[in-house]
Chains A and B, each alone.
Chain A
Amino acid sequence: MPLFGIFLTFIAFEIGVAIHKKWRYSLVNPLLIANVLIIGFLCVTGISYETYKIGGDYISFFLGPVTVVLAVPLYKQIQNLKKYWVSILAGICVGSLTSIFCVIATSKIFGLSETLMLSLALKSITIPMGSVVSAQIGGIPSITIIAITITGITGAVTAPLVCRFFRIKNPVAQGVAVGTASHALGTSRALEMGEVQGAMSSLSIGVAGIFTAIITPIIIPYFI
């Protein structure tokens, strides 16, 4: 019955929002709270993820139209995009390469299996792109999706803290950083940080995704 998953999602998210409103700490993220609540609820009651997913899929469906709407903040910021496009592109390329090479390096250091390394390499790009490229290079798409989700939640939770700690003050730089590192989930937070940040983050999801999708299959064979 799809209503179960839909209802549970709404209730958990509303609880998350209420808790977030009460404390307002960066770490008290509505999505993170809702995620823990739903998983906790399913574990306690013994209801399977598949049962939840029947309803959850109705909500996930809207990710398509929601991504389309990300063009709106981007359009509103087209002037900044024209003005800073060189630094934006350079930032996205450096960021994507950093992500891929760090995964390769840490996988070697910690002795992770090759499949795990391949699955993690795409963790900073958006789910539909990451899962497809993961299969293409020999990773396991479901592991990639998990890595993408953890990455996204990390971005959404830590974005303002990371920007403050590393003294990233330029709003364009903040937006590109969040979007490149943590795709659309991070972008949901960037939109809260400001209009410029939200727009630049939306832009970076697509560009970082395309860049990573092209460059990863080229780089990876040298490290296997």
Chain B
Amino acid sequence: MRILLQLALILGISFAGELLHRYVGVPIPGNIIGMLLMLILLCLKIVKLDHIKEVSNFFLKHLAFFFLPPSIGIMAAGEEVMSQWPLLMFLCVALTIVTMAATGWTVQLLSRNKRENPTTNHQPSRL
């Protein structure tokens, strides 16, 4: 499908998610609703992967880039954060690692009895 049409489809679903959140009152953020809508449409084969191939590949490959502007918001930190920042920084970093380990171990332990390993098609793609 043409690139602009692909983009229109993705923006349309994103918009639908936002509308459902704002006017129907679904208590989940619009972009997460949009993601679920897209998943449902893909599963029902209403939207096919080919329909959004180029644009979705582009977005997924450059995902980190779109998070750059919000991450600069750290500059606007208030007094309470500034006065305790080494401690807050340490807590955020340490607790992220603890959370990651706890989650990973749980999943790994519980899926140990499954014989077959998940299908891995490892494709290291760098940004």
Which residues from chain A sit less than 8 Å from chain B, CB to CB? 5, 9, 12-13, 17, 20-21, 30-31, 34-35, 38-39, 42, 49, 52-53, 55-57, 59-60, 62-76, 78-80, 83-84, 86-88, 90-92, 94-95, 98-99, 102-103, 106, 110, 112-113, 115-116, 120, 123-124, 126-129, 132, 140, 142-143, 145-147, 149-156, 158-159, 162-163, 166, 168-174, 176-178, 180-182, 184-185, 187-189, 191-196, 198, 202, 204-206, 209-210, 213
Contacts and interface: CB of A to CB of B under 8 A. Distances in A.
A149 B75 CA distance: 12
B104 interface: yes
Given A13-B65, A35-B72, 6 more contacts: A13-B68, A31-B65, A56-B72, A73-B60, A140-B80, A143-B78
Output the residue of B10, B35, B96 with the most chain A CB within 10 A: B96
B63 A66 contact: yes
A75 B30 CA distance: 19
Given A113-B80, A149-B73, A68 B119 contact: no
A59 B107 contact: no
A72 B123 contact: no
B101 A162 contact: yes
A65 B78 CA distance: 30
Chain A binding surface SS class: helix
Given A113-B80, A159-B100, A67 B34 contact: yes
A172 to B, nearest CB: 5
